[in-house]
Copies of this chain bind each other. A is one copy, B any other.
Amino acid sequence: MLKVPAHQVAGHRADRGKLGPRVDDSGRFYKPLQGDERGAREVAFYTSFSSDTKVPNHISRFFPKFYGTQLVEASDGSGMKPHVVLQDLTFSRVNPSVMDIKIGSRTWGPEESADQIQKCLKKDRESSSLSLGFRLSGMQIFGTKESGFWKPEKKWIQSISTDEVRLLLKKFVSSDTSALKPDCAFASIVYGGSKGILSQLLELKAWFEDQTSYHFFACSILMMFEKELALEGKSPCPEIKLVDFAHVFEGRGVIDHNFLGGLCSLIKFISEILTTPEDSTTNVLVEDAHRSHVYPENGSA
């Protein structure tokens, strides 16, 4: 009994007869393999990475567990299709706030065609990828049981300015998703602390300064936590995971400077929220953002 993932914020969705990933009741995520070299590269990456003894445990925990590939009935009714079977990253979570951040100023790999390069370059220039080294691909923020999730439109979120990106990174860890000014109430327990998101990003950064095996293009970092746990005085379980490896290439002895540069840029944004949460340059944007680009969506899964 496969179903559409409740907390997917980016990528193709398996609803309305379309092809997309689904999850089962035991914590597995079934992602249809793209029929071209992208699918082949994603399987090649998971196969190689999951058996790579050079990757330390404190890094491999940032990647979904890999359970091989499996023929599964496709969500678009097109019959049995090969899927990559992965860990369902939000399986044990109730109402997670999730942000999908595509890392790198360049989202095209070394083997793309001239057409594909132009297409990706255009998108990198129109989004914040080129300027910031990353772009928001999708997000949901849990509000309350009554209001459910705040989930801005994907098309809008990929076209926003630097100040709006900064604002959403603040809003992500604020108590009231409809407030005019983000209060960053959960910044210190989600982004900060020895087990917070910033610490995890810094661990990842240290690995990227050293590893020369893989180059990750168009790969995303998911940031997740649970506001309700925080409200109960518990840890909100902040966590980062890397996803989407259809454009991973061999590093051939060179570090992934494209990913690393974008990661450092994201780290700088998160650090600044922790050190100067009251910085008000972007406050004026809140109302606009909230008024124009939100659509209501029912709450918990």
Which one of A75-83, A146-154, A259-267 is at the interface? Answer: A259-267
B268 in contact with A105 (CB, 8 Å): no
Give the contacts of A119-142 with B (CB-CB under 8 A).
Answer: 121, 130-133
B261 in contact with A257 (CB, 8 Å): yes
B258 in contact with A105 (CB, 8 Å): yes
Return the CB mask of A237-274 against B: 1 if under 8 Å, else 0: 00000000000000011110110111011011000000
Give the contacts of A79-123 with B (CB-CB under 8 A).
Answer: 105-106, 110, 121
Cα distance, A106 to B209, chains bound together (Å): 19
Query: Who on chain B is nearest to A165 by CB?
Result: B254
Least CB distance, A107 to chain B, in whole angstroms: 13
Interface residue SS majority, chain A:
helix
Cα distance, A101 to B262, chains bound together (Å): 22
Task: Check A210 for interface membership: any CB of B closer than 8 A.
Answer: yes
Task: Check A162 for interface membership: any CB of B closer than 8 A.
Answer: yes
A258 in contact with B261 (CB, 8 Å): yes
- Copies of this chain held together in the complex: 2
Task: Check A212 for interface membership: any CB of B closer than 8 A.
Answer: yes
Give the contacts of A262-289 with B (CB-CB under 8 A).
Answer: 262, 264-265, 267-268
Chain B neighbourhood of A106, CB < 8 A:
105-106
Chain B neighbourhood of A105, CB < 8 A:
106, 257-258
Least CB distance, A150 to chain B, in whole angstroms: 25
Chain B neighbourhood of A253, CB < 8 A:
162, 166
With beta carbons under 8 angstroms apart, the residue of B121, B162, B252, B260 that contacts A254 is B162
Cα distance, A260 to B252, chains bound together (Å): 20
Nearest 6 A/B pairs, CB to CB: A261-B261, A257-B261, A133-B257, A257-B265, A255-B268, A255-B265
Residues of A within 8 A of B (CB): 105-106, 110, 121, 130-133, 162, 166, 209-210, 212, 252-255, 257-258, 260-262, 264-265, 267-268
